[in-house]
Chain A
Amino acid sequence: MLIHPEEILETIKMVTNENLDIRTVTMGISLRDCCHPDIDTFNENIYEKITTCAKDLVKTTDDVQSLYGIPIINKRISVTPIAIVAESCKEPDLTSVARTLDRAAHDVGIDFIGGFSALVQKGMTPGDLRLINSVPQALASTKKVCSSINVATTKAGINMDAVALMGRVIKETAHLTRDQGGIGCAKFVVFANAPDDNPFMAGAFHGIGEPECTINVGVSGPGVVNSAVRALEDPSLGDISECIKKTAFKITRVGEVIGKEVAKRLDARFGVLDLSLAPTPAIGDSVAAILEAMGLESCGTHGTTAALALLNDAVKKGGSMASSSVGGLSGAFIPVSEDAGMINAVLCGSLSLDKLEAMTSVCSVGLDMIAIPGDTPASTISAIIADEMAIGMINKKTTAVRLIPVPGKTVGDMVEFGGLLGRAPVMSVNRYSSEKFIARGGRIPAPIQALTN
């Protein structure tokens, strides 16, 4: 037999015992041909475009799933940032656009649609501002729509006016969805250096340099990496890195074969394969567990940043060998609420917000799915965002912030979001004010790292 039985069983074990899955097949759709000054016509155009391009998305992914026997968990769509395509609509409130996206997403049967977004790293157009002001209502009145705002890049610096606005947008979104623990905020990401082709939510959008229609695939598998590392007998850190690299390679290869097949069947371009260790609440399917497998007593203790750096780098190396189309975020995610190990680490006091911030300087995303007290001032939220944006800007990497100031909850409380979003312990923030700093506004200039030409 061409493939050794042990190899076949290894693959099967990855799926059945270790939660290997294709986390998402995300179809990127350009809406640039949908622009219209009349918002009703614009809404009709985008509904028509999305439901035409994606009409077979769910069926095709289901067929490919059964062909290869690898579960595909989510089917999603990302669209051109709405602030760009809705710029010519003079309507001040763009909530109806979000509702249209929601309806289209529902009608084609997908899980989430991303792209209620604006790219404002250097400044805001009137259209950007209209979109940003519409975000709280848009997220409160839809189920499947995700929103993201890029407020910083290494090339442009940090738009601190936008950062100041973000704090208020997050507070308002939490307030409007207070009956569900502020869940609207779980669908909202603030970015530095946002990738154009990221398939993961809530930050996916179809970038302006992208083709008409693409398929981007997000592969996951913290559980597989965790088991592989734990199976090693008294390994050196070099052995661990090697093991993670090989495992990442195998996972990525599966993602590539599936992504290409889905793209071929849908007559779309295969965009990127994003190998990101995205944890789920399932036991063992945890990035914190991998760090602990390396020898840390609890995630968040001293040594965590180094262990995460090793993990993130090994994942990227394995992934880049396995596919020529690696892109998006590709690394380790550290969302607190979605990772049982992270939750435990917070509960036992070993993982703090400050440590998470340090960890984001060496992994692929940022402060993700973190619940903070509902009475946190907007300026403090903005300042947390500013710190995170600075890490992204200086290190020429993507960073993101997805915070939930849970209305009525305080440090030590637990909030349940359900499903993949999991549950989160409310974490404490620094009690000293950042008000004056945030109120100054303006722009933090592009760093010296930007001068590469």
Chain B
Amino acid sequence: MVPSRFIITVIGIDKVGIVAGITRVMADFNVNIVDISQTIMQSLFTMIMLAEIKEENFDLSSFQKAMAAKGHEFGVEVKVQHEDTFRFMHRI
């Protein structure tokens, strides 16, 4: 897999420890955070991260599963999507 960038979104009810929990999983998978933003939108905790994965044979599916599982623990929804999904949709 070529080095690629992913958008990670975490959406749900705010709780103590979400950021720590989620970023811990990312560190375990050696996923680097390039940019991060976090707000409360319409009373929902919303964290968006731009992450970079440099590894050649990164196991995306395991990473997505681990992230979703961690999200489940906190009762929030975590999505890991290739940056192109958003780049293609919103930029010409």
Interface residues of A (CB under 8 A from B): 1-5, 7-12, 16, 63, 66-70, 250, 253-254, 256-257
Contact = CB atoms under 8 A, between A and B. Distances in A.
Contacts of A16: 77
Contacts of B89: 7, 11, 250, 253-254
Interface residues of B, number: 27
Nearest to B85: A68
B21 to A, nearest CB: 20
B62 to A, nearest CB: 11
A8 B11 CA distance: 12
B88 A66 contact: no
A1 B88 contact: no
A170 to B, nearest CB: 41
* Chain B binding surface SS class: strand
B30 interface: no
A217 B23 CA distance: 36
Given A9-B41, A9-B46, A12-B9, 8 more contacts: A1-B35, A2-B50, A3-B86, A5-B46, A7-B90, A9-B9, A68-B85, A250-B89
B87 interface: yes
Contacts of A11: 85-86, 89-90
B66 to A, nearest CB: 13
B61 A66 contact: yes
A67 B81 CA distance: 6
B84 interface: yes
Contact of A2 (B11, B60, B81, B87): B87
Nearest to A62: B61
A250 B46 contact: no
A219 to B, nearest CB: 12
Of B37, B80, B83, B85, which is in contact with the most chain A CB atoms at under 10 Å from its CB?
B85
A377 B27 CA distance: 69
B15 interface: no
Interface in B1-60: 7, 9, 11, 35, 37, 39, 41, 46, 48, 50, 60
B82 interface: yes
A66 B90 contact: no
Contact of A5 (B48, B79, B82): B48
A250 to B, nearest CB: 5
Contacts of B82: 67-69
Contact of B37 (A1, A68, A69): A1
A253 B46 CA distance: 25
Of B9, B37, B77, B81, which is in contact with the most chain A CB atoms at under 10 Å from its CB?
B81
Contacts of B80: 69
A10 B81 CA distance: 14
Which 3 A-B residue pairs are closest in the complex by CB-CB distance?
A69-B81, A257-B88, A253-B88
26 contacts: A1-B37, A1-B48, A2-B91, A3-B83, A3-B90, A4-B90, A5-B37, A5-B46, A7-B89, A8-B9, A9-B11, A9-B46, A11-B85, A11-B89, A12-B11, A16-B77, A66-B61, A67-B81, A68-B81, A68-B85, A69-B80, A69-B82, A70-B81, A70-B85, A256-B88, A257-B88
Contacts of B61: 63, 66
A252 to B, nearest CB: 9
Given A1-B48, A8-B7, A67 B60 contact: yes
A3 B79 contact: no
A68 B84 contact: yes
A254 B88 contact: yes
A250 B89 CA distance: 5
A250 B91 CA distance: 9
Nearest to A251: B89
B85 A254 contact: yes
A12 B41 CA distance: 14
A63 B64 CA distance: 12
B32 to A, nearest CB: 15
A254 to B, nearest CB: 5
A68 B84 CA distance: 7
A256 B92 CA distance: 13
Contacts of A257: 84-85, 88
A254 B61 CA distance: 20
Of A4, A68, A250, A256, which is in contact with the most chain B CB atoms at under 10 Å from its CB?
A68
A66 B6 CA distance: 12
B29 to A, nearest CB: 15
Contacts of A70: 81, 85
A439 to B, nearest CB: 54
B51 to A, nearest CB: 11
Contacts of A12: 9, 11, 79
A359 B28 CA distance: 56
Contacts of B88: 253-254, 256-257
A430 B75 CA distance: 56
